[in-house]
Amino acid sequence: MKKFFYILFFFFFFQNNLVASNKELVIKKLDRIKNISFNFIQTINGKDEKGKCTIQYPKKIFCKYENRNNKVLVSNGSSLVIKKGQQYFRYPIESTPFELLLDKVFMINKIKFSPLSEIDSKYLFFQINEKNNKINVFFDKKNHELIGWQVEDIYQNLVVTFIFNTSINKDIDQKLFLLPENN
């Protein structure tokens, strides 16, 4: 019976060290990112949209969607604009999940003090419940890189964003983050 408890203790101790090590590796990867560019597939209410994005920490993002409406999403760090054809929507970034997602320091602190869970032994994720936002952030278990997130948008639609073909810490033209004009 003693042997059983030693084995059980060793198993739990080893498993906790693996989780801690995954956390440390995720934090290390995230911490070294100043900017990241990627392709994405975003699913909202069962409909997929594709495009390319660039994030520059803190709180700047530029996304161009592959659709005939020339949809663009831009944050300059304080405001978020979604421009789609002739439609133009401007929000304070604080009223969106991007306030949290685009704040790398906030995310790293959340990871430090949140459980990091596994999905299908392939993915790691943690959850942010803050400022009326529920956000799941996903990482690849093998390389510990960011692979996407799941949020509720301002219309309470579930939005799942999967990112791929990432490029980290490249030179970026800062004009990219200028908010588009409202025609």
Name the band, by pLDDT with cuts 50, 70 and 90, for residue 183: confident
- Over 50: is that where the pLDDT of 104 sits? yes
In this predicted structure, which of 36-40, 96-100, 160-164 has the lowest mean pLDDT?
96-100
Name the band, by pLDDT with cuts 50, 70 and 90, for residue 78: very high
Are 29 and 158 contacting, i.e. CB atoms less than 8 angstroms apart? no
Are 138 and 148 contacting, i.e. CB atoms less than 8 angstroms apart? yes
Question: What DSSP string describes 66-116?
Answer: SSTT--EEEEESSEEEEEETTEEEEEEGGGSTHHHHT-HHHHHHHHHTS--
Q: In the beta sheet, which residues pair with residue 133?
A: 130
| pLDDT computed for residue 20 by the predictor | 52
Pick the CATH number of 2-177 from 1.10.1840.10, 3.40.190.290, 2.130.10.10, 2.50.20.10: 2.50.20.10
In this predicted structure, which of 4-8, 10-14, 139-143, 167-171 has the lowest mean pLDDT?
4-8
CA separation for the pair 57, 95 (Å, rounded): 18
- Mean pLDDT along residues 19-42: 92
| pLDDT computed for residue 126 by the predictor | 94
pLDDT digits (tens, 9 = 90+) for 47-69: 999 999 999 999 999 999 998 78
* Domain ranges for the chain: 2-177
